[in-house]
Amino acid sequence: MSSPYQQRRSFTPLALVVLVLGTAACGDNTGPSAAPKGLANCGGTPMLTVSPVDISFIRDLGPLGNLNPPVHTLPTDHLYFFANVDLTEAELVPVVSPGDVVVSEVTKQTRLSGAASVIEYSMTFFPCADLSLYFAHVVLTPELLAEIGPFGTCNQYVAGGDTYESCAKRVNLKLKAGALIGAMGGTFGNVLDFGGYDRRVAQLPFVNQARSYGNGTEFGQNRTICPVDYFVVSVASWLRGKFGTSSKRRTIDPLCGTIMQDVPNTAQGRWYFNDTPQDEPHLALAHDNVDPRIAVISVGTSVPSLPARYWGFTPATSGRVNTDFALVTADGSTYCYQNFLNATQPIKHVLIQLLSATRVRIEGFTGALCGDESTWAFTAGAREFAR
């Protein structure tokens, strides 16, 4: 029997699959409203039997909780498969169905502004009624696009400064384990997104449940799972060895990472500038998804004194300089952060104060070091965020 991966470069890419529900380019899925009718509930046996990408092409597997502001200011709810080759539209790595599944929804997104118009898709599929999974950054086969057919109702929105048109279509397409879906590569490079939600698991204890995307649905972000946990042992064990980067594997449990880092009554976790569901305006005071020993100020576009970037540092367990966020309470004190790990960032130090259990203040200042505590003072440039 031939391998399902042997069809490498055997089809012409017609479109790119990318998940863009809530953010531009690569966002967090909100999950479908319901499972396809007729699917049986999940049992105790792993439902996924085939790696979606041939293991010989997998360089790294990015854990849950990636911080990449402003698009991913808040911890990201999907994994990233990275290929070990440079991919172009002529050099593609096949993506196959990881199990016997039913594709329930495909979303077509068209960027209407910007330097180039791009058509993108997302795909949601179920191996059983309790488990919703999705892929992004996939070039679909012409055969699958033909089965999907034309899209209907569309709506427009603005994200990242560009205008997009999103068109969702409910489908009922059955795929066998190992069936060719398409390929990773093309315009979006050597990455494949893979995420999922399980309606059987307890809701993640976000401080503000109303702000977890998909709240109130069976497959919301507060039921995010690690898709690797649903594979047969032989596949799951190999994939877990790829979590992290080629230079630094994740060695701290959970190896798959986490998106829920809220610690009540402290500064740690998600903070919101306004009511928009997109990540760009918000703030995360969290930890790195590859090395959780690194604390990160992940700031979006709402703090004029602090560029939208990943500001990583080694946290301290005492004092008021580089204090780990889980130790910052509403004690009336101001905390300062300095010596950020990324040398390419502008020279800044940052003041943070937890005003209450549900409100935090932040401001950036020129200069690498915090200096004397007597000089720590917020100005009119400070911004406040809420839980």
Strands 16-17 and 119-128, by their bridges, are parallel
20 pLDDT band (50/70/90 cuts)? very low
Amino acid, res. 178: G
Per-residue model confidence as pLDDT tens digits over 43-83 = 988 999 999 999 989 999 999 999 999 989 999 999 999 98
Separation CA 298–CA 279 (nearest Å):
11
**Helix, strand, coil tally for the chain in percent (to 5):** 10, 35, 55
CB 300 within 8 A of CB 280: yes
Mean pLDDT of the chain: 87
Q: Does domain 4-240 have CATH number 2.70.70.10?
A: yes
Q: Is the pLDDT of residue 172 over 70?
A: yes
Q: Which residues pair with 270 in a beta bridge?
A: 284
Write down how long the chain is: 387
The burial class, CB within 10 Å (0-12 / 13-18 / 19+), for 208 is: middle
Separation CA 138–CA 121 (nearest Å):
8
Reduced to 3 states (helix: H, G, I; strand: E, B; else coil), residue 241 is coil
**Domain segments of the chain: what residues?**
4-240, 269-386
Closest CA to 196 of 292, 272, 128, 278: 128
Per-residue model confidence as pLDDT tens digits over 215-239 = 778 899 999 999 999 999 999 999 9
Separation CA 190–CA 340 (nearest Å):
28
CB 311 within 8 A of CB 368: no
Per-residue model confidence as pLDDT tens digits over 232-267 = 999 999 999 999 998 999 999 999 999 999 999 999
User: What are the angstrom distances between the C-alpha of 239 and each of 62, 128, 174, 288?
Assistant: 11, 22, 25, 20
Return the minimum-mean-pLDDT range out of 113-122, 151-160, 281-290, 301-310: 113-122
Phi, psi at residue 370, to the nearest 5°? -70, -35
Separation CA 144–CA 94 (nearest Å):
14
pLDDT value for 12: 39
- Sequence-distant (6+) residues with CB within 8 A of 282 are 73, 74, 270, 271, 272, 273, 300, 302, 385
What HEC string does 215-232 produce? CCCCCCHHHECCHHHHEC
Share of the chain above pLDDT 70, in %: 86
Indicate whether this model's pTM tops 0.85.
Answer: yes
Q: Is the pLDDT of residue 7 over 70?
A: no
Separation CA 152–CA 171 (nearest Å):
12
Strands 269-271 and 191-198, by their bridges, are unpaired
The residue-averaged pLDDT of 327-333 equals 98
* Opening angle at CA 177, ends 214 and 35, nearest 5: 30
